[in-house]
Amino acid sequence: MIKDILASHEERMQKSIEALKREFASLRAGRATPALLDKVMVDYYGSPTPVNQIAKVAVPEPRMILIQPYEKSMLHEIEVAIMKSDLGLSPNSDGTAIRLAIPALTQERRQEIVKQVNKKAEEAKVAIRNVRRDGNDAVKKLEKAKEITEDESKRGQESVQKLVDKYIKLVDTTKEAKEKEVMEV
């Protein structure tokens, strides 16, 4: 019973880490990566659609993203969506493709991005702590229903805490790696 609780709650913590990594991938770190465009939604025949589903996104150079729409008619829509996004990039279209030049980050912009990294890491930690609360509640519920003893309940809560410690450390490691990537010139 406790093993089931631990397994399901560990899976939720793992999902928090994966979500954090996706968030970090979409933060601009001075290097071109297709993941920068993951949150850019284009109005595709009335429904918001990610750029990578309506265009080929490639990185031909370290500071350049090349976007080639599958339908030429979507070129303008993609340009508009990029300009409206919070990426701060200017699309350059040649009629068949869009080029996004990734400028080098200023020190001020790097510090802003590090603040975003810290905020997102803290949100992930909060999510993991919420999972801890749910796990402890589930263990206490078993104890209250007399399905497990008080000692088993304490051990279960300690196991939940060990999982939390492991995943909080993983958040910190991921955050430090992203900070290092952002701050390198």
User: 99: pLDDT confidence band, cut at 50, 70 and 90?
Assistant: very high
Mean model confidence pLDDT for the chain: 88
Give the pLDDT mean for 35-45: 85
The residue ranges of every structural domain in the chain are 1-28+106-184, 34-101
Name the amino acid, one letter, at 71. Answer: E
Q: Give residues with Cβ within 8 angstroms of 152, minimum separation 6.
A: 2, 143
Tell me if 1-28+106-184 shares its fold with 34-101: no
Q: Determine whether domain 34-101 maps to CATH 3.30.470.20.
A: no
Strands (E), the chain: 41-44, 47-50, 55-61, 64-69, 91-93, 98-101
Q: Please tell me the distance from the alpha carbon of residue 125 to that of residue 171, in angstroms, as a whole number.
A: 7
**What topology is assigned to 1-28+106-184 in CATH?**
Topoisomerase I; Chain A, domain 4 (1.10.132)
* Residues of the chain above pLDDT 70, percent: 98
User: 106: pLDDT confidence band, cut at 50, 70 and 90?
Assistant: confident
